[in-house]
Amino acid sequence: MVANSVKAKIMLYDQYFIDDLKNRADLVRIIQPYAQDLKKKGANWMACCPFHQEKTPSFSVNPGKGFYKCFGCGKGGTAFNFLMEMEGLNFPEAVKRVAEISGIMLPEPIDDVSYERSKKKREETKKVADQIVELNQIALEFWEAELQKKNAKAKAAREYLETRGISEETQKAFHIGFSPDKWDGLLNVLREKNIDEKLIEQSGLVSVNEEKERVFDRFRGRIMFPVLDVNGKPVAFGARAMGSDEPKYLNSPETPAYTKGQHLYGLFQGKDEIRKKQFAILVEGYLDLIALYQFGITNVAASLGTAFTPEQSKLLNRFAKRVVINYDGDSAGIKAARRAIEHLLPQEFDIKVLVLPDGKDPDDFIRENGVDAYNERRGKAAPFLRFALDASVAGRNLNNAKQKAEAIEDFLPVVSAIRNNIQRRESFDQAMTFFHIEDAALRRELWTSLKSAGHGDTQYITQRVSRAARAKITVAERHLLELLVFDRDLRDVIVPQLEPSDYENLSAAEIFQAFIATHEAGNDITPETLLEHIGDDETSVDLAHELLQGKPRREKDDAIDKVLHDAENCVFSLRNMAIANRVMEISREASMAEQAGDGELFNQLTFEQLELEKIRRELQRRINEL
């Protein structure tokens, strides 16, 4: 009776879910609490067996294949078997426990009838998926053979690959091919093998024009890059145009064999080296990966140009716990790296980010600069926290209250994704220091907001940060603006003396920029001309109104000497203040560089600080002489 009861419970969990959970479970993490001497030995982990007493480790864990085995007592199995044996659980309880440890939600229970129905549907889908993989294998071999043909287009394809520095050996390793520029090149091959038309249409290898009732090759006149799953089976294809054809990149659609965001290009070829080196380099596109591979860097995986997903993070987690993200250095690549960090952190990866100079991608950089230059840059990759902080403030002025609030709101999901409570708190505190949030009450509110799934009331948090971030206008900046607002002659002398660093971090930075732009355009400062240059920041609008409601500090026929002396004194004061603020920033940056072990950056910052201190002393001397 009990056995039947247990069996009934087992049936409530879909077998597909159980298989998927077994593959996604971190076996090392599950076993480590019971075998604390567990250490990595090659592809496996070894420890003294938790099931019997021994002095020499004979208990082996293979996380890649998802099983353990003791060569002393003979016990072995999967994550489920381990917890059933160690914690005295039945199978359904072990499934729940593995899901809980892995952070995976259990599916809704199903009854026996629903189970049988879903099982049948799943078996049918798997059968179709397996058949599509067989078709993909035919296509792969067809396109590989086409690349080696002697016709002009195949020759042009080989020449293109040669210009990209992709050797024949690499072409074979990745099964790179060429799809002939024909409407039915592959289609005829598939039909000659008497493959069912419906299956061909489901495969993603052809396109269907329903209006004209026409089926034709999806990929024509392109370099073909097969996407292999972790076991080496071709599940999809990426294709690149050789010339100016659009789209430049064309990928397989989703099919029963392929779901976007669940595979990593090149992982099959690189998984052994990733395990060996204990870290992976994550790039965006297949050409980036192949370029690195060509130069001997083979512990690489690519997210196939799509946004990196939680499923890809879990897949990579089976082979390494450290990752260096090396996406393109442009703004889109920076944003994509930020999103990837948020998906990698819940899997407790040690993450660094490599941004190559001049916005270059890995393909361009390594071909232009070589493997030594690339490895040197990779060795100096930034810790994820530093990268995420810099990314959140890029293009934003932290002295603008609204922009500072936006930067913090943009950054908080990164901290929220950190699973370890101590690391999350330390990262949060570092971020608050970076953003200059000194208000203890606001810090508590922001910390509390991280605990809610939606990160709290974002509009309220933004408003609170904005209010707290509004720096008070200094006496020197207000006085300088009051002197300049109605005095064109004084502006003629002072505006050329102003440097962006004098005002760009001030509360009134937008007003200074508006004054300068208006003056350089030869216009008087009026409500209309100011509003052209200031945004919707409430503080700036209010200050502009106050200045325009004031009175001139010099009558038209009065000498300029007095106001000029006052204005120059204000400029020197602002410059001195800007240097002092930069020195404080350098101290914080140097502290973070020291924590990250970046000695070169620490030395650069220390040198900059010494130089600024010299300039500051000279400015102070000049102020005293005025």
pLDDT digits (tens, 9 = 90+) for 548-602: 888 888 887 889 989 999 999 899 888 888 888 788 778 777 777 776 667 788 8
Q: What pLDDT shows up at residue 134?
A: 97
Return the closest-CA partner of residue 485 out of 520, 519, 521: 519
Is CATH 3.40.50 what the domain over 475-625 is classified as, yes or no? no
CB 341 within 8 A of CB 414: yes
The widest CA-to-CA distance across the chain, in whole angstroms, is 108
> What count of other Cβ atoms lies within 10 Å of the Cβ of residue 485?
22
Query: Model confidence at 129, in pLDDT bands (50, 70, 90)?
Result: very high
Listed in sequence order, the residues at least 6 apart from 490 whose beta carbon sits closer than 8 Å to its beta carbon are 483, 484, 554, 560, 563, 564, 567
Q: Bridge-partner residues for 44, per DSSP?
A: 41
pTM: 0.69
Report the alpha-carbon distance of residue 336 to residue 201 in Å, rounded.
33
pLDDT digits (tens, 9 = 90+) for 50-97: 988 888 888 999 887 788 998 888 889 999 999 998 888 888 888 888
Q: What pLDDT shows up at residue 225?
A: 97
Six-digit token string for 81: 């078997």
Six-digit token string for 529: 């001309």
Across the chain, what does the average pLDDT equal? 86
Percentage of the chain modeled with pLDDT above 70: 90
* H or E element, residue 81: helix 79-87
DSSP 173-230: HTT-EEE-S-SSHHHHHHHHTT--HHHHHHTTSEEEETTTTEEEES--SEEEEEEE-T
What sign for the dihedral angle of Cα 181, 182, 185, 187? positive
Six-digit token string for 550: 């004031």
Which CATH code of 3.40.720.10, 3.40.250.10, 3.90.1150.10, 3.90.980.10 fits the domain covering 126-251?
3.90.980.10
Q: How far is CA 159 from the centre of its chain?
A: 34
Torsional class of 296: left (φ above 0), alpha (ψ -120 to 50), beta (otherwise): left
Instruction: Domain 2-102: give its CATH code.
Output: 3.90.580.10
**Which whole number is the average pLDDT over 207-215?**
83
Q: What pLDDT shows up at residue 243?
A: 77
Which backbone phi and psi does 579 adopt, to 5 degrees? -65, -45
**Which whole number is the average pLDDT over 469-494?**
87
Query: Model confidence at 324, in pLDDT bands (50, 70, 90)?
Result: very high
Is CATH 3.40.50.261 what the domain over 267-389 is classified as, yes or no? no
Q: What pLDDT shows up at residue 468?
A: 61
Report the alpha-carbon distance of residue 525 to residue 508 in Å, rounded.
16
Domain boundaries, the chain: 2-102, 126-251, 267-389, 395-469, 475-625
CB 435 within 8 A of CB 396: no
Q: What pLDDT shows up at residue 529?
A: 83
DSSP classification of residue 72: T
**Residue 625 predicted with pLDDT over 80:** no
Report the alpha-carbon distance of residue 354 to residue 364 in Å, rounded.
14
Report the alpha-carbon distance of residue 612 to residue 618 in Å, rounded.
10
Six-digit token string for 342: 């948020």
pLDDT digits (tens, 9 = 90+) for 497-531: 998 888 887 878 889 999 999 988 888 888 888 87
Six-digit token string for 391: 């990314």
CB 252 within 8 A of CB 204: yes
Report the alpha-carbon distance of residue 9 to residue 89 in Å, rounded.
13
Six-digit token string for 64: 């890649």
Instruction: Say which residue the tokens 């990262």 belong to.
Output: 427
> Which CB contacts under 8 angstroms, 24+ apart, belong to 539-547?
539/401, 539/470, 539/507, 540/508, 540/510, 540/511, 543/473, 543/481, 543/508, 543/511, 544/511, 544/514, 547/481, 547/482, 547/485, 547/511
